[in-house]
């Protein structure tokens, strides 16, 4: 079964820019029949567990947080990137059938589904991104060193004792 987060309860809806908080999901059975269900979970991890219980094998999305990504991968659910532009269910399914959607993995997660930032939107750790660079939604200082999803392959230290980071680390 294929799952797609969608904006409305209509089968021809556009994909929702959310995953865990999407209000509706389109489910495509093996025979191609499409059904729509209201999101029965609250949040990305619970949605990933719900998918596992339903027997979902594939997710097509344009947004996915790191923790749900990891939960879906652990469950053996394949994840495909539908692109950053508006796309409707039928078009996303057609691209999937044609093999033109990129499969998301640990190596390309930050590039495809991570958060795009510009120079003015750093997070205060002194590790600011240049325009057009990507990072997973969680800030680098909240990630373990060498986490491939963080965009920091070598790891680095932050001086949080002197007010260089405005995050609440309590």
pLDDT tens profile 62-116:
989 899 999 999 999 999 999 989 999 999 999 999 999 999 999 888 888 875 4
Same domain, 20 and 87: yes
One domain for residues 120 and 84: no
The confidence band for 149, taking pLDDT boundaries of 50, 70 and 90, is: low
How many domains are there within the chain?
2
Mark which of 109, 128, 149 sits at the end of a domain.
Answer: 109
Give residue 129's domain range.
114-170
**Domain-ending residue, one of 93, 109, 125:** 109
Q: What is the pTM of this model?
A: 0.68
Q: Point out the domain boundary residue: 84, 109, 134.
A: 109
Instruction: Give the C-alpha distances (Å, rounded to integers) separating 120 from 15, 123, 130.
Output: 29, 9, 9
Same domain, 165 and 136: yes
Residue with tokens 């539908």: 82
* 81 in the same domain as 48: yes
């Amino acid at each position: 079964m294929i799952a797609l987060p969608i904006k409305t309860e209509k089968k021809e809806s556009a994909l929702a820019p959310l995953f865990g908080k999407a209000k509706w999901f389109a489910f495509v059975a093996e025979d191609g029949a499409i059904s729509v269900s209201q999101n029965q979970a609250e949040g990305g991890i619970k949605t990933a567990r719900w998918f596992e219980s339903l027997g979902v094998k594939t997710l097509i999305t344009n947004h996915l947080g790191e923790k749900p990504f990891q939960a879906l991968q652990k469950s053996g659910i394949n994840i495909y990137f539908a692109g950053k532009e508006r796309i409707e269910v039928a078009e996303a399914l057609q691209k999937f059938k044609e093999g033109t959607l990129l499969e998301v993995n640990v190596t390309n997660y930050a590039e495809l589904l991570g958060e795009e930032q510009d120079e003015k939107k750093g997070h205060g750790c002194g590790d600011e991104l240049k325009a057009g660079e990507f990072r997973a939604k969680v800030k680098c200082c909240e990630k373990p060193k060498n986490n491939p999803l963080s965009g920091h392959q070598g790891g680095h230290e932050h001086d949080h004792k002197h007010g260089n980071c405005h995050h609440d680390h309590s």
